[in-house]
């Protein structure tokens, strides 16, 4: 627990007020217990003491009821043991329990607030597409959509908000380390977390 651990993207951009200091201690005990229980049950079903990172999506879906709309965006490599800490590259395919706690806590937090995330995501997609609301069919696949800079410009115009293009671009790129000029469902959820809309534990 005392060794230095490289933070993943999700930890760097979301819920900084929660994970600011002693990260493990700021994860509520009930969340840690829930994650431990799920981990143990999954290991029992697989008859193993370790879990391979390729099974992470299945673990969260079957044991913790995390929906595909969130699991689609996770990177299983974020859960693996660091290669520098091992002498075998094969060990990097094994879940690091500490990382599992950090990433799992974030997923559970987002899942607990999924209705709020959906509400704002549907509202933005409907607005930029000139609709009062999305249809039921559109809502089912809404998590696959993206918001681009032009969409944000249009949104600001409709809301009569004079926001500089550079500021809007920062809103998009800061969440993904400047890798792309668009925002997906998970990016948006993390933005809501950082701005406090999803609250804190």
Domain boundary among 64, 82, 112: 112
How do residues 127-163 score in pLDDT, each as one tens digit? 888 888 999 999 999 999 998 878 877 777 766 655 5
pLDDT at residue 13, as a whole number: 45
- Please check whether residue 102 lies inside any domain of the structure: yes
Check whether residue 45 and residue 139 sit in a common domain.
no
Check whether residue 79 and residue 130 sit in a common domain.
no
The residue-averaged pLDDT of 168-181 equals: 62
175 or 196, which is more confident:
196
Check whether residue 87 and residue 153 sit in a common domain.
no
173 pLDDT band, cuts 50/70/90, is low
Name the pTM for this structure.
Answer: 0.78
Q: Following DSSP, what letter does each residue of 16-65 receive, concatenated?
A: TTTSSSSHHHHS-HHHHHHHHHHHHHHHHHHT-SS-BGGGHHHHHHHHH-
Using CA atoms, how far residue 126 sits from 145, 155, 178, 179, in Å, is 11, 10, 26, 26
The residue-averaged pLDDT of 101-127 equals: 92
171 pLDDT band, cuts 50/70/90, is low
Mean pLDDT of the chain: 79
**Which domain, by its residues, includes 125?**
114-194
How do residues 4-19 score in pLDDT, each as one tens digit? 445 444 444 444 444 2
Check whether residue 98 and residue 177 sit in a common domain.
no
198 or 51, which is more confident:
51
Distance in angstroms (rounded) separating the CA atoms of residues 3 and 16? 20
Check whether residue 134 and residue 83 sit in a common domain.
no
Most confident of 4-13, 115-124, 150-159, 167-176: 115-124
Check whether residue 88 and residue 67 sit in a common domain.
yes
Check whether residue 81 and residue 147 sit in a common domain.
no
pLDDT at residue 181, as a whole number: 75
Domain boundary among 112, 129, 159: 112
Check whether residue 91 and residue 134 sit in a common domain.
no
Q: What is the CATH number of the domain that holds 144?
A: 1.10.238.10
**Dihedral, 200, 107, 102, 50 alpha carbons, nearest 10:** 150
Check whether residue 21 and residue 51 sit in a common domain.
yes
- Please check whether residue 2 lies inside any domain of the structure: no
- Please check whether residue 40 lies inside any domain of the structure: yes
Task: Tell me which residue of 70, 71, 47 sits closest to 57, measured CA to CA.
Answer: 71
Instruction: Give yes or no for a contact between 54 and 76, defined as CB atoms under 8 angstroms apart.
Output: yes
- Please check whether residue 4 lies inside any domain of the structure: no
How do residues 34-83 score in pLDDT, each as one tens digit? 999 999 999 999 898 889 999 999 999 999 999 999 999 999 999 998 87
Q: What percentage of the chain reaches a pLDDT higher than 90?
A: 42
């Amino acid at each position: 627990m005392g060794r230095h651990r490289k933070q993943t993207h999700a930890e760097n951009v979301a819920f900084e007020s929660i994970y600011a200091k002693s990260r493990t201690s700021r994860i509520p005990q009930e969340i840690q217990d829930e994650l431990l229980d799920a981990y143990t049950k999954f290991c029992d079903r697989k008859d193993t003491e370790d879990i391979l990172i390729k099974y992470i999506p299945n673990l969260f879906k079957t044991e913790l009821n995390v929906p595909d709309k969130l699991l689609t965006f996770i990177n299983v490599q974020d859960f693996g043991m660091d290669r520098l800490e091992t002498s075998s590259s094969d060990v990097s395919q094994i879940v690091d329990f500490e990382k599992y706690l950090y990433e799992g806590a974030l997923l559970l937090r987002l899942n607990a607030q999924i209705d709020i995330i959906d509400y704002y995501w549907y509202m933005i997609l409907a607005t930029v597409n000139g609709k009062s609301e999305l249809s039921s069919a559109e809502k089912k696949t809404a998590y696959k959509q993206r918001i681009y800079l032009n969409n944000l410009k249009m949104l600001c115009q409709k809301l009569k908000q004079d926001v500089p293009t550079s500021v809007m671009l920062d809103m998009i790129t800061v969440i993904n380390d400047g890798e792309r000029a668009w925002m997906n469902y998970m990016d948006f959820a993390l933005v809501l977390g950082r701005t406090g809309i999803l609250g804190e534990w």
